[in-house]
């Protein structure tokens, strides 16, 4: 029965443009939309050991090349969305948006997760890249995580098993993906936390080009500096390749003006890197993950 249900969620030769925040990218051989963890486990057990697997949430830190993706893409958003109090912890599955988690914590008198409202992705993505903003990072508040391996087996792991760093997490076991996490937070005042979230979102709206498709920050901030400052100082604000543009509002954002291709975006990323290195002497590190093949 479980296998039958899982098969109905498989979409073949599916365009990934609708699953990424840049709204670009080719087709995946297969897209699987998990309804719950049991269904995902059953599906994983059917996959060949050599099958390439990609997990995506909101696709907000992802560039899919125009030639598409060979293998299986597993979509977590709108699927693994359990969010609840679990004893003294807050448990959130990988498909829960970071903004929803932040508000849930605040409304349940927990403080310390307000910054999550500024992360335009899901819990799974935030765990995978140690996403953060405004001086806080995801792994600062993680107690335990739930993962899944290629064989469809789930594992509860303590945060001490992982080595988080700036926008990166070293996994103890290769080929495991995040299904959820238990977050450790202090008791707080709901009104104060909600006010922080409101102010953070207002600041984000004022400083970021949220009216156009983008993937958030393109580059990591170098130690002691800001990627946006270096890009702007290199004269790149507003620079355009095809339908992709360095945002005039925030230089570390690349926006899709409506007709960008993945290649436009990738070429623009490369040009930004080269120009900043030449003019500022700094080698920017890409924050955006790139998958797939060229057209």
Point out the catalytic residue in the list 14, 39, 114, 287.
287
287 a catalytic residue: yes
Torsion of CA 254, 257, 260, 262, to 10 degrees: 30
Tokens, residue 141: 């508040």
Partners of residue 75 on adjacent β-strands: 33, 56
Q: Which candidate in 60, 193, 214, 217 is catalytic?
A: 217
Across 283-293, b (16+ Cβ under 10 Å) vs e yields ebebbbbebbe
Closest CA to 255 of 39, 8, 24, 14: 24
What backbone phi and psi angles, to 5 degrees, belong to 137?
Answer: -130, 155
Active site residue 217: yes
What separation, in Å, do the N-terminal and C-terminal C-alpha atoms of the chain show? 38
Active-site residue identified among 167, 193, 234, 266: 167
Q: For the chain, what's the residue count?
A: 295
* Catalytic positions, written as ranges: 167, 217, 287
């Amino acid at each position: 029965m479980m296998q039958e249900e899982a098969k109905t969620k498989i979409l073949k030769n599916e365009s990934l443009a609708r699953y990424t925040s840049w709204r670009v990218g080719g087709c995946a051989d297969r897209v699987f939309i998990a309804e719950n963890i049991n269904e995902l486990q059953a599906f994983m057990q059917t996959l060949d050991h050599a099958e390439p697997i990609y997990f995506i949430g909101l696709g907000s830190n992802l560039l899919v090349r125009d030639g598409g993706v060979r293998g299986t893409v597993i979509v977590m958003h709108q699927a693994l969305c359990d969010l609840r109090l679990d004893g003294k912890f807050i448990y959130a599955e990988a498909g829960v948006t970071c903004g929803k988690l932040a508000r849930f914590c605040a409304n349940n008198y927990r403080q310390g997760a307000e910054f999550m409202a500024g992360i335009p992705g899901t819990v799974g993505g935030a765990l995978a890249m140690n996403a953060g903003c405004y001086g806080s990072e995801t792994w600062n508040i993680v107690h335990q995580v739930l993962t899944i391996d290629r064989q469809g087996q789930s594992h509860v792991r303590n945060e001490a098993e992982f080595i988080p760093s700036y926008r990166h997490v070293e996994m103890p076991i290769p080929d495991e993906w995040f299904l959820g996490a238990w977050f450790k937070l202090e008791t707080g005042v709901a009104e104060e936390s909600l006010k922080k979230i409101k102010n953070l979102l207002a600041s984000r709206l004022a400083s970021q080009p949220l009216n156009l498709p983008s993937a958030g920050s393109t580059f990591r901030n170098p130690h002691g500096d800001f990627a946006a400052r270096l890009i702007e100082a290199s004269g790149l604000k507003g620079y355009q390749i095809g339908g992709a543009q360095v945002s005039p509002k925030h230089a570390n954002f690349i926006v899709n003006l409506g007709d960008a291709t993945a290649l436009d975006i990738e070429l623009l990323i490369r040009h930004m890197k080269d120009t900043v290195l030449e003019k500022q002497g700094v080698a920017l590190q890409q924050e955006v993950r790139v998958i797939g093949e060229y057209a």
